[in-house]
A and B are shown apart, each in its own frame.
Chain A
Amino acid sequence: DQQVKQNSPSLSVQEGRISILNCDYTNSMFDYFLWYKKYPAEGPTFLISISSIKDKNEDGRFTVFLNKSAKHLSLHIVPSQPGDSAVYFCAASKNQAGTALIFGKGTTLSVSS
């Protein structure tokens, strides 16, 4: 039973446009959410996070939105750039010491120039 779901395996966007990646979770105990980015032949790298006490967190071109009632979060990339083409993983955690991240299956973003 998947606790973190990314229902879109892939997304294609034109350079300069907005990319919106979605993620749903089922476990109401999760209270910390992260997005990781992964290029081929590399490990995932941390991108941005949000605590459940917030509904939005922004870092440059990247913004994560959290809707706790819907158990849904999204990552917005504006404007999208070809270098953003990668696999994006949504992850969730119970923000306690030493707890593991539970990942979704990932969404492959392709940004065309």
Chain B
Amino acid sequence: DARVTQTPRHKVTEMGQEVTMRCQPILGHNTVFWYRQTMMQGLELLAYFRNRAPLDDSGMPKDRFSAEMPDATLATLKIQPSEPRDSAVYFCASGWGGVGNYGYTFGSGTRLTVV
């Protein structure tokens, strides 16, 4: 059963530290998304890639967040420096180019707590 794998599942860090979250998309999927879930905003789109090229990162705070796809099997989301307001669950999702009839597949998320 193909799945999107996210690591770590949980991360507690101190304010000011760098945080790196990783995502392994489903093999063959060419589109990768990063979403953030908070109580206030629900699921917010942060950035997404197609064929490893960034298509849109307008949802990310540019001064502290960065997203990359070093290769087709790995997507990373970095926060430097982290702040308490970054505490949230971060989801990665992958899929084919068009949303089609099956939506995109989400990972189980990384729960980030910044103290």
Complex CA–CA separation, A101 to B41 (angstroms): 15
Q: Does A1 contact B (CB under 8 A)?
A: no
A68 interfacial contact with B, CB 8 Å: no
- Chain B 28-66 interface residues, beta-carbon cutoff 8 Å to A: 30-31, 33, 35, 41-45, 48, 50, 55-56
Does B69 touch A at the CB level, under 8 Å? Answer: no
In angstroms, Cα B63 to Cα A78, docked, is 47
Interface string of A71-113 (1 = CB under 8 A from B): 0000000000000000001010101111111111110000000
Q: Which residue of A lies closest to B53 (CB)?
A: A98
- Chain A residues contacting B103 (CB-CB under 8 Å) are 34, 36, 46, 49, 91, 101
Say yes or no: is B76 at the interface (Cβ < 8 Å to chain A): no
List the A residue with the shortest CB-CB distance to B44: A103
Give the nearest-CB partner of A50 in chain B: B101
How many A residues have CB within 8 A of the partner chain?
Answer: 25
Residues of A contacting B: mostly = loop
Q: Is B70 an interface residue (CB 8 A)?
A: no
A41 touches B108 (CB 8 A): yes
State whether B101 touches A43 (Cβ < 8 A): no
- CB contacts (< 8 Å) of B33 on chain A: these are 100-101
Contacts of A105 in B (CB 8 A): 41-43
Cβ distance A64 to chain B, nearest Cβ, rounded Å:
12
Known pairs A93-B99, A95-B99; A43 contacts B50 (CB<8 A): no
Task: Report B-chain residues with C-beta under 8 Å of the C-beta of A91.
Answer: 103
- In the bound complex, residues from chain B placing their C-beta under 8 Å from that of A106 are 42-43
With A and B bound together, what is the CA distance between A21 and B44 in angstroms?
20
* Per-residue contact bits, chain B 93-108, to A (CB 8 Å; 1 contact, 0 not): 1000111011111111
